[in-house]
Chain A
Amino acid sequence: MARKMKVRTRTQDGMVEVLVLVNHPMETGLRKDKKTKKVIPAHWIQTMNLMHNGKLAAEANLGIAVSEDPLLGFRLPKAKNGDKIQITWKDNKGESGKISAIVDA
């Protein structure tokens, strides 16, 4: 199932900030269903990569303590308007997603 992703760029402190939003439950595997008392299985994003003009700029390994629908921010000091960025992610159940954008800060 494809999950919704959004990406936005803006200028912060003289750098380009990339904000990524992924629609993802980020289940910890510690929560219980209140009605059935069964543990809800863990389901969370493990890795997210940010590519800047085809080169790896940041690689985030995430744990279960990142909130639902994660909103992650990265900064690229050398990015200019018109540069290409691509974000990919993968979760513990093998789901993945990607989004491309052009820097417009």
Chain B
Amino acid sequence: MNNLNRRKFIKGTVASSAVLAAAAAGLLTPVSAMAASWPKKAFSSKKVDLVLKSLYGSDQVIESKDVKIRAPIQAENGSVVPFSIKTTIPDPEAITIMVTANSMPLTANIKLPSAGGYFSARIKMAKTSDVQVVVQSGGKLYSSKAKIKVTVGGCGG
């Protein structure tokens, strides 16, 4: 009798876990389909070169003085760092902002079909780090870096 109950129990758990797995799969599909244009792989990459490879297919960047970063030298609060980027490179196609010391460096990737080479935002920084900006124009990647000191980190906690 005892043995029979045990069988039933095992059968029951196997069946219910199968149902759970199916439900999870069903729930996940619409979410991933909805964010199809959002480059999930690039945003979850943990290294700068992997982010660039995933977004542009190349991590070859040219250091350029025409990519200008305006940011404080020292930020008191890492959860709100005012940051703006301006470029004089003609026909910028995309701007990518990466905080190299964050666990996921890619902060924002902006495609510019007709807007000018400018973007501003307030960003979160875990600790003192370089911020690297990459501008895509004519199939080439132009890059510039700025170091921002952070007194209190703004990620996790």
Contacts and interface: CB of A to CB of B under 8 A. Distances in A.
Given A47-B38, A61-B109, A70 B122 contact: yes
Interface string B96-138: 0001001110111111111111111111110000000000000
B3 interface: no
A73 B109 contact: no
B39 interface: yes
A97 to B, nearest CB: 15
B38 A61 contact: yes
10 contacts: A52-B115, A57-B113, A57-B114, A61-B43, A63-B108, A65-B107, A71-B122, A72-B121, A73-B84, A76-B116
Interface of A: 13, 15, 17, 19, 28, 30-32, 46-47, 50, 52, 55-68, 70-78, 90, 92, 94
Interface of B: 31, 34-35, 37-39, 43, 79-81, 84, 86, 99, 102-104, 106-125, 154-157
